[in-house]
């Protein structure tokens, strides 16, 4: 009997040690102190070469796997870090003390994760890293790593945004005024949810749902309101936000107006795509009888199955029309090639001395984007472009010069990399003709 009791005591102690070991290793914040060591050294010299060496030696080389993940995920370079350090001294002074508080958060983070496990028992383990980046992200994930950008996530209403560029200073200040540090545990739970989801999709609608699921699941687990200003704003302005999103959803250049950026979106509130995905998730959850199954279904959404995702969204009746109908209306708004002015397409007797080709569009185009691709006959028959003349002043045409050979068929696709001014991709157009003998 005595041996049995000792055995159970041993087993209990063993599991207790393993649990403590897991908890102790769950949160890593060594990058915070390393950054400030590097920062102090860098700001003592104006020699840019020396600054680069100090950054590498004192911060990047000492970095955790989490810092390496954040750098890879956000494509940070040495120049990004040094520009941020040198250009925003008031910001760094105002955020420093807050970032050092990451050491005090481990118990609260553990409680948050256990709350998440309560509503999602299949929770897989992940590790949390508090890093300092170059002002592009307050949090992201990479595989089973939760990566916190502490320079943003640990900010508050006293964080100084006065040095940031004017075009996004107000958006940054609005974010700081929401006291993100008060909700850093919620942020971690949000990012932890991402480590449980399937791969993030490439399209705007899927990305908004991906983020909205993580936000909804995290606030449901924590039993607190969302700290994201976008959620409250979206609910208070649902019709206007929805109308704008339905117009933008299939456009190529709108991601950073809705997610992860400070681009102007007409509302003065960033990340409104989080609200769109949150609202869809909330509607699904509220209509489900089994709430735990609903949470599991949200986390398990397969974003690679476009039809299934669209059917899921349509079921919530969030949008004013089915997604297929929104897409049909969008297709009608896409630009087209109306003609080629110097030659007749599909002709078989084009003069091989013809040099200039001008493409005309059905609407003004974005002058910053263009693209051509092979035709069905492949690389051997593609047009040989010798000179780009460019867009007309009104954006309604695009000209270039080519070199043609006699008795040869040419094919080039004017691709969907041509965009209208609003960002709608061109309906691809095949330039296809044959030159005559000289």
Task: Check residue 209 and give its pLDDT.
Answer: 97
Cα of 132 vs its chain's centroid, Å? 18
Quick: pLDDT tens for 117-147. Answer: 999 999 998 889 999 999 988 888 888 888 9
Contacts of 380 by beta carbon, 8 Å cutoff, 6+ apart: none
Among candidate residues 128, 131, 147, the one with its CA nearest the CA of residue 26:
128
d(Cα 284, Cα 291) in Å, to the nearest integer?
Answer: 10
Task: Check residue 43 and give its pLDDT.
Answer: 97
Task: Check residue 328 and give its pLDDT.
Answer: 94
Q: Does 21 score more than 70 pLDDT? A: no
Q: Does 24 score more than 90 pLDDT? A: no
Q: Does 19 score more than 60 pLDDT? A: no
Range(s) of the chain covered by CATH 2.60.40.1220 = 337-434
Quick: pLDDT tens for 381-413. Answer: 999 999 999 999 999 999 999 999 999 999 999
Taking the alpha carbons of 157, 229, 186, 27 in that order, is the dihedral positive or negative?
negative
Average pLDDT over residues 99-109: 87
HEC string for the chain: CHHHHHHHHHHHHHHHHHHHHHHHHHEECHHHHHHHHHHHHHCCCCCHHHHHHHHHHHHHCCCCHHHHHHHHHHCCCHHHHHHHHHHCHHHHHHHHHHHHHHHHCHHHHHHHHHHHHHHCCCCCCCEEEEECCCCCCCEEEECCEEEEEHHHHCCCCCCCCCCCCHHHHHHHHHHHHCCHHHHHHHHHHHHHHHCCCCCCCCCHHHHHHHHHHHHHHHHHHHCCCCCCHHHHHHHHCHHHHHHHHHHHCCCCCCHHHHCCCCCCCCCCCCCHHHHHHHHHHHHHHHCCCCHHHHHHHHHCCCCCCHHHHHHHHHHHCCCCCCHHHHHHHHHHHCCCEEEECCCCCCCCCECCCCCEEEEEECCCECCCCCCEEECCCCHHHCCEEEEEEEECCCCCEEEEEEECCCCCEEEEEECCCCEECCCCECCCEEEEEEECCC
Model's pTM, two decimal places? 0.74
**Domain 337-434 of CATH type 2.60.40.1220:** yes
Q: What is the mean pLDDT of the chain?
A: 90
Cβ–Cβ < 8 Å for 138, 180: yes
Cβ–Cβ < 8 Å for 151, 184: no
End-to-end CA distance of the chain: 106
Q: Which band of pLDDT confidence, cut at 50, 70 and 90, is reported for residue 11? A: very low
Least confident of 210-224, 243-257, 288-302, 384-398: 243-257
Quick: pLDDT tens for 278-317. Answer: 999 999 999 999 999 999 999 999 999 999 999 999 999 9
């Amino acid at each position: 009997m005595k041996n049995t009791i000792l055995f159970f005591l041993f087993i209990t102690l063993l599991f207790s040690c393993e649990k403590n070991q897991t908890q102790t290793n769950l949160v890593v914040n060594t990058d915070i102190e390393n950054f400030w060591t590097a920062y102090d050294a860098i700001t003592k010299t104006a020699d840019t070469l020396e600054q680069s060496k100090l950054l590498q030696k004192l911060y990047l080389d000492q970095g955790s796997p989490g810092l390496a993940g954040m750098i890879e995920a956000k494509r940070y370079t040495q120049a990004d870090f040094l520009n941020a350090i040198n250009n925003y001294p008031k910001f760094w002074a105002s955020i420093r003390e807050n970032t050092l508080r990451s050491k005090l958060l481990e118990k609260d983070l553990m409680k948050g994760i256990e709350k998440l496990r309560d509503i999602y028992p299949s929770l897989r383990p992940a590790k949390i890293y508090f890093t300092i980046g170059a002002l592009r992200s307050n949090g992201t994930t990479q595989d089973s790593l939760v990566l916190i950008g502490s320079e943003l996530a640990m900010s508050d209403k006293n964080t100084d945004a006065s040095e940031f560029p004017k075009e996004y200073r107000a958006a940054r200040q609005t974010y700081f005024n929401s006291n993100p540090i008060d909700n850093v545990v919620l942020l971690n739970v949000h990012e932890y949810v991402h480590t449980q989801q399937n791969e993030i999709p490439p399209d705007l609608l899927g990305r908004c749902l991906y983020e909205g699921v993580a936000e909804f699941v995290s606030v449901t687990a924590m039993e607190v309101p969302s700290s994201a200003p976008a959620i409250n704003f979206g609910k208070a302005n649902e019709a206007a936000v929805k109308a704008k999103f339905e117009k933008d959803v299939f456009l190529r250049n709108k991601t950073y107006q809705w997610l992860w950026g400070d681009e102007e979106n007409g509302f003065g509130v960033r990340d409104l795509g989080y609200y769109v995905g949150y609202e869809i998730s909330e509607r699904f959850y509220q209509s489900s009888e089994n709430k735990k199954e609903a949470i599991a279904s949200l986390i398990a959404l397969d974003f690679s199955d476009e039809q299934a995702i669209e059917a899921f969204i349509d079921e919530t009746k969030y949008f004013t029309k089915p997604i297929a109908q929104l897409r049909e209306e969008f297709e009608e708004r896409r630009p087209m090639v109306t003609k080629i002015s110097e030659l007749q397409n599909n002709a078989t007797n084009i003069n091989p001395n013809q040099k200039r080709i001008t493409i005309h569009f059905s609407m003004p185009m974005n002058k910053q984007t263009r693209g051509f691709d092979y035709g069905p006959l492949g690389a051997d028959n593609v047009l040989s472009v010798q000179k780009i003349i460019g867009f007309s002043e009104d954006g309604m045409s695009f000209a270039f010069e080519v070199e043609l050979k006699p008795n040869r068929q040419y094919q080039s696709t004017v691709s969907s990399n041509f965009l209208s001014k609003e960002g709608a991709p061109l309906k691809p157009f095949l330039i296809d003709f044959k030159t005559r003998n000289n």
